[in-house]
Amino acid sequence: MVKLYGQELTRAELLRRVGDVDQVAGVRRVRLEDGPEDGVTAVEVRTGAGLNYTVVPSRTMDVSTAECDGIPLAWRTGAGEVHPAYVYRTSGWNHGWFGGLLATCGLDNAGSPGQDELGSFAQHGHANGLAARQLSYGARWEGETYKLWVEGELRQKEAWMPGTFDVVLRRRIESELGGRTIRIVDRVENMSIAPSPLILLYHVNFGYPLVGPEAEIVSRARRLVPFRGGEHDPAALRISDPTDTFTSQGHTHEDMAPDADGNYEGAILNDRLGVGVALRFPAAEMPSFRQWKALVQRRYVVALEPANHAGGNRVQARERGHLPMLDPGETRTFHLDITVLRGAKELAATRERLRA
């Protein structure tokens, strides 16, 4: 059964009502042609449940814009979906970062730039400038479920030196007709003949109107600890109006309690709008969950960040003994569900579940 516009319909019942499913939901590839976005490929997804979002295969297959029932969810920097030729293999994360609902940090670093015996690495790694190959997208029935999907392959590789960094990320982004979930499945394979670092952080960014003083962050964490260390800071879950003096703040959600299926979950909830967004991901794949707030004028953003390592850049993670490594030929899989919540009941149920 498909839930659409207050009705539950079978596949046959829906098809009697439309000439094509594209009338209510669909996937469409487009090309951007203006300014530094010229030549960028994008794929627009409409689920039929009010959730519309844009995947950018030219930029790591990240999700740039997203809205539900006309309400914007994602934070945008103003840079636009800059062509990867301007940003790949540079340290210019902040010059070409469009923000977006999902920005991928990795695969060789997350955090500040630096250098080690493997060479230099950029802020949040080089993955954000990768363009996808073997791009495919579409929509099809699978029994009574109508799937909408985009997938492709991203390869981060040194030019030719054997034993250097050579990692492939195969990403699939999927939603269902009548649904409000964006499901991301990433499979990362080390193509090199040597072990490689594998750092992956999902920078999930929210902006106005979802971000506001009537919103709050919730999770199953027992403690919120500043990135630089310190005591439990429960005030970090609250969101203020924008000011001209706010300093960016980052916190780690520690002592997270997984659900019965072994998943961590965190969310941002706005009761005034009746809108929230929840993140759900396997604790075994991404044992770290963080948040970042920059509540300053013209840069009013809250980010929730699942990650596969406990923080710090590549050098710091190695020094602290928690740098994830991927053996030659090894593949590791990561799952992340981003679900939009609508209405007081869904927000209350999520708040109760995460505070239990």
- Domains annotated for the chain, with CATH where assigned, are 2-355 (2.70.98.10)
Query: pTM value?
Result: 0.96
Q: What are phi and psi of 34, to 5 degrees?
A: -115, 135
Judge contact between 149 and 299, C-beta under 8 A: no
Query: Could you tell me which of 276, 275, 278 has the C-alpha nearest to residue 338?
Result: 278
The DSSP bridge pattern shows strands 41-46 and 51-56 to be antiparallel
- Low-confidence stretches of the chain (pLDDT beneath 70): 89-94, 159-163, 356
The letter for the amino acid at 284 is: A
Radius of gyration of the chain (CA): 20
3-state secondary structure of 236: helix
Give the separation between CA 95 and CA 52, rounded to whole angstroms. Answer: 26
Q: What is the pLDDT of residue 162?
A: 59
Residue 11, Cβ density class (10 Å: 0-12 exposed, 13-18 middle, ≥19 buried): middle
Longest dimension (CA), the chain: 63
